[in-house]
Amino acid sequence: MSSSARAAAPIGVFDSGVGGLSVLRALRAELPQENFVYLSDAAHAPYGERADEYLSARAVRVADYLVAQQGVKALVVACNTATAAAIHTLRARWPGLPIVGIEPALKPAAAASQTKVVGVMATRSTLQSAKFKVLLDKLQGQAQFVLQACDGLAAAIENGDADTAQTLCARYVQAMGGFGHADGQMDHLVLGCTHYPLVESLLRNLVGPHTTLLEAGPPVSQQTRRVLAQAGLLLPPGVAGAVRLLSTGSTAELGGNAQRWLGLNGVVIRAQTETGG
């Protein structure tokens, strides 16, 4: 394949469901000329309450599919949980493929915080992962982190269950303590799951105007630009790129959410990442 043909290949993006659409939104804003393939592994969701061995196996299966069947030139793992469980395995399996993972924005939150108290909302699997613990250990002494496992929240967002999402957001925000600029209050809240930015307005109403919400989409999109440029795979500015939507689960649900969150209208293809699925 020529270098120009390889550069025109799409960037693969995957998550367990619709959460990664928040990352795709940031990627398209940063790299509007690029082509994307987004895969929702909804048939195997939620990732956030799965064991690492299962997550690693699914990530490998999905990556194999995106490389072999969709011909992606790079891969973005748009899921904190999958990144923590499988990013090293994916990079070892595909050493020539630019692969960008995602992690909760603890470091920038700690650096920017004035009260030095930072809230972190994430899935239980992310908070219990070895990768997250390493990240937390590196930041010891830089800030106090208030960790909140948000069981069921990603699933409620995935299913479009607004009432449950609102109830859970209120429950978890209240459990974390005070938000604001006063001593001992959290002035930054890290959204440690890619689903959570999709209910950012709801969380904003709960924590108030003096708390900064941080998501991982923008830094991931900037890192994707850097690795593509380094590999000589960055398309020059020009015509807006295309987006292909794939799902291992309900194509109608992904289509509806893509239209709702990104304004994307189009046919969603069923992704056969394995025999019978």
What domains sit in the chain, N to C, each tagged with a CATH number? 3-102+218-270 (3.40.50.1860), 106-215 (3.40.50.1860)
3-class SS of residue 34: coil
Number of H helices, E strands in the chain: 12, 10
Q: Which amino acid is at 186?
A: M
Task: Write out the DSSP string of 246-263.
Answer: EESS-HHHHHHHHHHHH-
The catalytic residue positions are 79, 193
Q: pTM of the entire structure?
A: 0.88
* Phi-psi sector, 152: left (phi>0), alpha (psi -120 to 50), beta: left
Residue carrying the six token digits 């859970």: 168
State how far the Cα of 13 lies from the Cα of 23, in Å rounded to an integer. 9
Q: What is the pLDDT along the chain (277 residues), one digit of tens a residue?
A: 667 778 899 999 999 888 899 999 999 999 999 999 999 999 987 787 788 899 999 999 999 999 999 999 999 999 988 998 899 999 999 999 999 999 899 999 999 999 999 999 998 988 988 889 999 999 999 999 999 999 999 889 888 899 999 999 999 999 999 999 999 999 999 999 988 999 999 999 999 999 999 999 999 999 999 999 999 999 999 888 999 999 999 899 899 889 988 888 888 889 988 743 4
pLDDT of residue 1: 61
Quote the pLDDT of residue 276: 39
The whole-number pLDDT of residue 129 equals 86
Q: How far apart are CA 191 and CA 122, in angstroms?
A: 7
Q: What is the pLDDT of residue 246?
A: 96
> Residue 96: how many CB atoms within 10 A of its CB?
5
